[in-house]
Amino acid sequence: MVATPKLIELDGTPHARGLAYGQQADTQLRHGLGVYRALFSEHGLTWDSVLGYAAELRDSLAAKVPTAMEELAGIAEGAKVRLEEVLVINGRSEIINLHAQRPADPSKLDDGCTAAVVLPAMTASGRLLHVQNWDWLPDCADSTVVLHIRSETGPDILTYVEAGGLARAGFNSEGVAITGNNLACTQDGTAPFGVPLSVIRRRVLEAGGYSQALTELHRLPRTVSNNMTISCATSGDCLNFETTPERIYWQAPEGDCLTHSNHFTSPAARARETDLGIARGADTLFRDRRLRRLIEEGGREHTLDTLAVALDDRFGAPRGIIRTPQGNEGETNAYLSATVAMVLMDAGAGEMRIRQLPYASDTTCRFSLG
């Protein structure tokens, strides 16, 4: 049985939102903590040491993004877990990369993903569409929720996320959408704690319209590399950002479609950065280009349904655009990874579709920001 992500509706102050969130997602959050406790243990990290790193992240966040900390504290209170445990969910990549006590290859603890944005000229509705396959631990499908956040001071938000996290993939009522794909380079873990990726994505969605979202992404300090694609349904535009702790490389779409996987593609980044993600999974080198070709060959009347077909491509199995756990054992990664979810977003229509464990299920759940 494939889990259906629970819809959680939130409003009020940051602490009130967090409290309600933690109370409603306590089961999913505790499941996620069990997944990460086991994962870190397999890689030689004691839970006490992980929580110690999370305490350092807590102190950093309190100074940089105090309102996010209020919400995270509320989540911990509502779920009756430690604040540091909620920070493990939000900052797993930062925690594992920053400290010397870590696996020999920390990239084995980071997720993959293949994402695409199709501009209005290639869609049947004339609206921009933003989609992604999220590759990570299959057990995390039972840890996920969808947050519908109503705000009196900013845009409303719909985001799919691991329970306890502030955001993963999502969009706001201004038509701004965001997805993230893992990147890895030699800068990762060399700077002091910045803002975790989950918090950065929420801040981008909270910022407001397109210009505010782009500015917020550039403003926040980072600890690890990540690719973030930001689109705007209102203007029909998108931009891609290959970020490292020190630098951001931006890319505009070439034509009416933009795709990205898990390696640096901008010429400046390829010349300047040592890309560690390719050794982790060289399939990244064809996934983005193959997805773009499938979309372009599919014509100029795309819908979320046609893009779901493209994201369900099984070429290169088990490591393709869609990743399956069967046959994935004993390869580069020390864990069993797969496509946890297919995320399909039509921000202009206020619609999000989630297909959990898409290699095993064709059940799609629909959520609305309306």
pLDDT digits (tens, 9 = 90+) for 75-89: 999 999 999 999 999
Higher-confidence position of 190 and 368: 368
Write the Ramachandran bin of 255: left for phi over 0, alpha for psi from -120 to 50, otherwise beta.
Answer: left
Report the candidate in 85, 68, 54 with the shortest Cα–Cα distance to residue 15: 68
Q: What is the DSSP letter of 361?
A: -
Q: What is the DSSP code (8-state) at residue 312?
A: T
Q: What is the per-residue pLDDT across 160-199, written as a single tens digit (0 to 9) for each? A: 999 999 999 999 999 999 999 999 999 998 878 889 999 9
pLDDT of residue 108: 54
Q: Range(s) for CATH 3.60.60.10 in the chain?
A: 110-368
Using one digit for the tens of pLDDT, what is the confidence trace for 141-164? 999 999 999 998 999 999 999 999
CB-based contact 70:13 (threshold 8 Å): yes
Residue 173 in contact with residue 206, Cβ under 8 Å? no
> pLDDT tens across 241-295, in order?
999 999 999 999 999 999 999 999 999 999 999 999 898 889 999 999 999 999 9
Q: Tell which CATH architecture fits domain 110-368.
A: 4-Layer Sandwich (3.60)
101 band by pLDDT with thresholds 50, 70 and 90: very low
Residue 43's pLDDT band, with cuts at 50, 70 and 90, is: confident
Report which DSSP code applies to 324.
-
Cβ atoms of residues 157 and 172 within 8 Å: yes
Whole-prediction pTM: 0.96
For 111, what's the count of Cα atoms within 13 Å in the CB-facing half-sphere?
27
Q: Which of 234, 233, 267 is CA-nearest to residue 250?
A: 267
How far is residue 108's CA from residue 113's CA, in Å, rounded to a whole number?
14
